[in-house]
Amino acid sequence: MSSLASTSTTTRSTAPGTTGTGRLPRLPQPFKGMTWLVWHQHRAAFRTVLGASALAVAFIVFQRSQLHTAGYDATSTGLRLMPVLLGVFLGAPLFAGDLENGTAKLVVTQSVSRTRWLTTKLALTALVVVVSTVALSVGFGWWWNLYDESTGSAWTSGPVFNNTGPVPVALALLSVFGGVAIGVMLRRTLAAMAVTLGFTVVVQIVWSHFLAHFLLSLADVATITTNKGVSFQHVMPTLPPGAHQVNWSNPPYITGDGKLLGWSTCNEVQTEQAHDLCMKKADVVGWSVDYLPVSQMNGIQWFGASILLALTAAVTVFLFLWGRKRLT
């Protein structure tokens, strides 16, 4: 960190990291603001994150304003990789570089407590991550509304659920703070980046399984039924806009007394007349289709994000407990 290594113009160093009196150099007066100092040290990484996010948002806004859906899938994939990239290139080196090159020891000799240094770095990094991911989440959500109208993309799918609302923010924060913790423990930048890559990939995989097998099961399933029979062409009822059909592969029929019959009922008949007769004998009066209303999307996202944020908070507590004694 070049600013931390600066010395007064009236003092000459006789050895790396020491002054002529044998003491570590003090920070020049202009450099005593910790927020400015942290920004100056990591300005290249912070500006890269903010700049790349701004370009991505500009692209999304342009495509959406032109009513285009081209590039949607590629953008979705890129946004899903963002937590991984932030964890590896922003989180892992945040303290690992300082611990590896000795800057951490210099910092704590400048009347700066470990807690203050840790707090400032984490807070400023978190601010950059939140600003970037919130902007991308809002922009992508706006674009998805257009994409959904033209393709019927389900809100329960990973590309939509994980890239809109609070979820991408929470995923990014967990990945970055997890990378920071790994860097603090390993104290080597390249090693920390490699391990963080594995950590963030595992987080993505576990989160995807959690979403598919648990999180969506918390939603209240709604059911739509019909009572005007079932045509030979199997035309199903129209669901509300944005609804995700749960039993899409095997929606059951409903009988006059409320019983449900499998979708394969009367499939063996070959003609419309025979089909209608078979349905009449089975007392089938219509369809029974289960679905998840899009109105539940926001609540489920916040519940999932709260779990991710709780894990991030636990990592943060660990960093402060570890850093107060070993962050040098």
pLDDT at position 233? 60
pLDDT at position 57? 95
pLDDT at position 55? 96
**Bridge partners, residue 225, by sequence:** 288
Answer yes or no: is pLDDT of 324 > 70: yes
pLDDT at position 250? 65
CA 271 to chain centre: 51
Percent of the chain having pLDDT more than 70? 83
Q: Determine the residue type at 201.
A: V
Neighbouring C-beta atoms of residue 99, cutoff 10 Å? 21
Return the higher-pLDDT residue of 237 and 6.
237
Q: What single string gives the DSSP state of each residue in 193-228?
A: HHHHHHHHHHHHHHHHHHHHHTGGGGS--EEEE--S
Return the higher-pLDDT residue of 98 and 270.
98
**Helix axes 72-86 and 114-151, enclosed angle (nearest 10):** 170
pLDDT at position 148? 65
How many degrees, rounded to 5, is the angle at CA 301 between CA 300 and CA 307? 95
Asked whether the CA dihedral 118, 119, 121, 122 is positive or negative, the reply is positive
pLDDT at position 21? 45
Yes or no: say if 244 and 235 are a contact pair by the CB < 8 Å rule: no
pLDDT band at 281 (very low <50, low <70, confident <90, very high): confident
pLDDT at position 251? 66
CA 265 to chain centre: 43
User: Token digits for 115?
Assistant: 């807690």
Answer yes or no: is pLDDT of 172 > 50: yes
Q: Determine the residue type at 113.
A: S
**Helix axes 34-41 and 114-151, enclosed angle (nearest 10):** 60
Neighbouring C-beta atoms of residue 245, cutoff 10 Å? 15
pLDDT band at 16 (very low <50, low <70, confident <90, very high): very low
Average pLDDT over the chain reads 82
pLDDT at position 201? 96
pLDDT at position 124? 96
User: Token digits for 185?
Assistant: 């423990």
**Mean pLDDT of the region 9-28:** 42
User: Token digits for 116?
Assistant: 């203050």
Q: CA-to-CA distance for 179 and 195, rounded, in angstroms?
A: 8
Longest pairwise C-alpha distance within the chain: 103
Percent of the chain having pLDDT more than 90? 41
pTM across the whole model: 0.80
pLDDT at position 230? 75
CA 138 to chain centre: 13
Q: CA-to-CA distance for 82 and 59, rounded, in angstroms?
A: 16
227-256 residue pLDDT tens? 777 766 666 778 887 788 886 656 688 888
Q: Of 198, 192, 16, which is closest to residue 97 (Cα–Cα)?
A: 192
**Mean pLDDT of the region 112-140:** 92
**Mean pLDDT of the region 264-292:** 81
pLDDT at position 11? 37
**Bridge partners, residue 286, by sequence:** 254
Q: Determine the residue type at 66.
A: Q
Buried b vs exposed e over 111-137: b needs ≥16 C-beta within 10 Å?
Answer: ebebeebbbbbbebbbebbebbbebbb
Answer yes or no: is pLDDT of 53 > 50: yes
pLDDT at position 152? 53
pLDDT at position 94? 94
Q: CA-to-CA distance for 170 and 149, rounded, in angstroms?
A: 27
Give the lowest-confidence range in 29-38, 58-67, 139-148, 305-314. Answer: 29-38
60-119 residue pLDDT tens? 999 888 877 778 888 999 999 999 999 999 999 999 988 888 877 777 677 677 888 889
